[in-house]
Structure 1
Amino acid sequence: MSDNNQSDTAITDLHLADKPQIFRTLRNIDLNLLTIFEAVYVHKGIVNAAKILNLTPSAISQSIQKLRSIFPDPLFIRKGQGVTPTTYATHLHEYVSQGLESILGALDLTGSYDKQRTITIGTSPSIGALVIPTIYEAIRTHSPQLLLRNIPVIDAEAQLSQFQTDLIIDNQHYSSRTIQNHLLFSDRIELVCRQHHPSLNAPVTDEKLSRVDHTLLMVEGQNFSSLHQRIQELFPERQISFSSYNIFTIASLIANSDLLGIMPTRFFELFSACWPLKRLPCPSLNSEQVEFSLHYNKLSLRDPVLSNVIDIIRQAF
């Protein structure tokens, strides 16, 4: 659904870029005149439109005269105490009303306009697989008019400070004063192996762990660096024979080899539904925690729609 929206936007942008006369034409039209046109059309009279827009009937009449000089049609014909639109005005109304509704939707400052809006959430693929289903269900329940778009996290601080994404969910802490964060949940760390792994037959010991090859998840960030350091202190003799930035790859490899791996509990529960994985009890490792937090630009709280989405996500976890 999001991909379609991106494609439609790209096509529209290309269409406009190929026709620069569109911008020249619009430059010569006071868009306020279209608002007045709609008011006269909907309220069927200059006096009624003047009351709605808090203008004088004379100002409305002058605006209609300006529109008549732009369009090849009188637009409105006097009829009794009011006016009746011409067929050209009826045709014009169909397009102008749609355009004004789209503008109102884009400029929804109160969060009350019942139109679709896209909320962009940045995650890694693995964290997205973990949290997006819960977020989607919560938002569909409370704000079904909203659309969700999930994008990768490339430079979180830049993406949030420059409003390239609305929200980011990851394991990091950011020093920028413009970024606010809320802890969604903490997860303990699991030692994981394949089903029927020989290590399942006896208690885990440091000596046993030193004789088995391990995987290593490579993730940038101060939080993970300190966690890796603590794990290294717990298992100084651990032998790493495979490393990857992708936890999906690690889970698949563990399920198809005698390698051991370390991952948060929620990831283990997610992956064990796809691959035959088992956890190895390891109290010293299980006491370690990984935090998953929601990040956003502090200025986003001025947007009632986004502020509501933040509350929905926090409540969902």
Structure 2
Amino acid sequence: MEPHCVKQQVQIDSITDSDISSNTRVSRTRGAACGIEARLQNPGTSPLAGAVGVENGQRRSQGDCAPCWACLRCGTISWLREVGVVKIRDVDLNLLRVFECVFQTRKVVEAAEILGISQPAVSNALKKLRELFNDELFVRTKSGMTPTQYAMQLAEPISYALKTLEIAIEASESFDPRRDKRHFVIATSDLGDMYFGPKLISHIRDISQDITIEFVRNNRPHIVDSFENGEVDILLGFRPDLITNMFVFRLFYQGWSILARKDHPIFSSKAPREDLLACRWIGVRSEGSGLASVNAELLKVGMDRNIVVWTSNFGTLAPLLAVGDLAACVPEKYTTVIDEAFGLKSMPFPVDLPKHSISSVWHSRAHNDPANQWLRQQVSILFKEA
């Protein structure tokens, strides 16, 4: 069964930087895909102002040097010119690629071949760059396209920014569990911790020591917000209410069992359905396990069980069953993780109850994330049943 989403996924193909003003505030914007930060300060307060010929917002008489400064830490450039400020929204990434290639080759023809575009396209790009930066940038000489002083100042920041962006994009397109560190957060019930946890952790440890796992409850408040904010990577279990913007991949169908001590009379009963009402039961209030709906189904068929003990999780259930004549209705997978040391036994529940679809669930925002895809693949390998 292929994962499905009830709402069409919206794919972001490009990032548009917000307008950066030229006032005295520091204006910042982060690209959603690569985390690159664009920063522009008032020229009079720039920590690099003195080094590039800018003082109190005015050009200093230092040759023909045109004022500019670059933030190399975040890899995004801001340019200050006599005629005003070049805004990030006006800078076409492809123009910067042309600038870098012409700067490296000093030849329009060679740059066109490397970029895979025509020579007129390179010439047109250079025209736009000159208009944008109010500078010739490259002057045709006998030795080729010679960069101006201003182009020399721009070259290193532009190259750094393009390389930073390239690295960020390439990193977002791949995930190598043997090399990359990642902390995964998995939402599930306490039963899910016991069933999925040991096998998944052992499997991942065999692949990498740098991947960490955190299990949180799948009934936590605002679980949808946790998905949208990236606080939860995937959910494992039964949450049919999670629909909008979610992908669902069924792992298996889960039925129901009776669990009790090995010597409990229910296992030797010739009329187990009738004897169910005579049993004393432990009830489990474990949100996200599907037991609430099962209890409702039993009441529909007239099976009002005599529940004398309630517990809030499956972790305490086995020890409680081991010390008395109590029985419990549990998901069948729970019986596979109970230690034989408790001396317990199980059998299929003698009443026809609806099976629950146990699934891997993730938000559409993480659908194309390589790390999330890898985690989902491991879950499928380990737990997918026919």
Gaps of 5+ in 2: 1-40, 49-68, 77-96, 105-146, 158-162
Code of the aligned partner of 2:174: G
d(CA) in 2 for partners of 1:194 and 1:229? 25
Taking structure 1 as reference, are residues 55 and 177 closer, same or farther at Cα in structure 2, changes over 3 Å only?
farther
Give 1:245's match in structure 2, choosing from 291, 307, 312.
312
Against the structure 1 CA distance between its residues 249 and 222, is the aligned structure 2 distance closer, same or farther, given a 3 Å change threshold? closer
**DSSP 3-state at the match of 1:302:** coil
Question: Retained in 1: the 8 A contact 2:238–2:358?
Answer: yes
- Distance in structure 1 (CA, Å) of the matches to 2:274 and 2:204: 49
SS at structure 1 position matched to 2:380: helix
Higher radius of gyration, 1 or 2: 2
1:294 paired with 2:360, answer yes
Q: Which residue matches 1:108? A: 171
Rounded to whole Å, the distance in 2 between the matches of 1:264 and 1:222 is 8
1:227 to 275, 294, 300: 294
For residues 1-317 of structure 1, the aligned pairs below 5 Å read 30-32=70-72, 54=101, 56=103, 62=153, 108-112=171-175, 114-140=179-205, 145-153=210-218, 154=220, 155-220=222-287, 223-234=290-301, 236-280=303-347, 282-285=349-352, 288-317=354-383
Paired residues of 1:204 and 1:282 also in contact (CA < 8 A)? no
Which one-letter code corresponds to 2:379 in the other structure? I
Q: Secondary structure at the match of 1:111?
A: coil
Counterparts in 2 of 1:147 and 1:271: CA distance versus 1, 3 Å: same
The alignment's TM-score, normalised by the length of structure 1, stands at: 0.63
Is the CA contact 1:272–1:278 (under 8 Å) kept in the aligned structure 2? no
Q: How many residues align?
A: 247
1:145/1:280 CA distance change after superposition, 3 Å: closer
Matched residue of 2:239: which SS?
coil
Quote how far apart the aligned CAs of 1:201 are: 3.7
Residue 300 of structure 1: how far off its partner (Å): 0.8
Say which SS state the counterpart of residue 72 (structure 2) adopts.
helix
SS of residue paired to 1:108? helix
State the TM-score, normalizing by the size of structure 2: 0.53
Q: Which runs of 5+ in 1 are unaligned?
A: 1-23, 37-49, 67-99
Q: Is the 8 A contact 1:168 1:296 kept in 2?
A: yes
Q: Judging changes above 3 Å, is the alpha-carbon distance between structure 1 residues 34 and 129 closer, same or farther for their aligned structure 2 residues?
A: same
Q: Which has the higher contact order (CA 8 A, sep 6+)?
A: 1
1:152 Cα deviation from its structure 2 partner: 2.9
Q: How many angstroms apart in 1 are the aligned matches of 2:343 and 2:363?
A: 40
